[in-house]
Amino acid sequence: MGELLLGLGGALLLTWLVLIAALLVARPRGGLLREAVRLLPDVLRLIRRLAADRTLPRGVRVRLGLLLAYLALPIDLVPDFIPVLGYADDAIVVTAVLRGVVRRAGLDAVRAHWPGTDDGFAALVRLTRLGSATP
């Protein structure tokens, strides 16, 4: 029984380390991470609007719904006391999901639902590299 618990604990730790490594690879570079945190309120409204849009493919809406559920959870992949990534994991996950949304639904759908300023949308495009994604 002890070996099973030890093995399970080791597997969970390894899975968590792989997730941390994936977040490090996917994180925005330079000052973009600060921009991501600044845009978070507009991005949350964008995600909610996109998830409610019945014209988007069902798979896109499901991903966005799961993303909203993840963001609502009080438990993060990376605890907040870890420097830099502690507060940035949500921004990194949102960025990855939005890239997938643009690939499936198109940049025009994201632009149509953007609640913020044009400058904010330009920052979102830079942050997520949405302009280089093909719908």
Q: How confident is the model at residue 126 (pLDDT cuts 50, 70, 90)?
A: confident
Q: Distance between CA 89 and CA 119 in Å, rounded?
A: 23
Cα–Cα dist 47/42, whole Å? 9
**3-class state of residue 32 by DSSP:** helix
Contact 91, 40 (CB under 8 A): yes
Question: Model confidence over 58-93: pLDDT tens digits?
Answer: 999 999 999 888 888 877 777 767 766 666 677 778
Average pLDDT over residues 31-40: 67
pLDDT tens figures, 87-103: 667 777 888 888 888 88
pTM check: above 0.85: no
The runs of H, that is alpha helices, within the chain are 2-26, 32-52, 58-72, 85-105, 107-113, 118-128
In tens, the pLDDT along 108-122 reads: 989 999 998 898 888
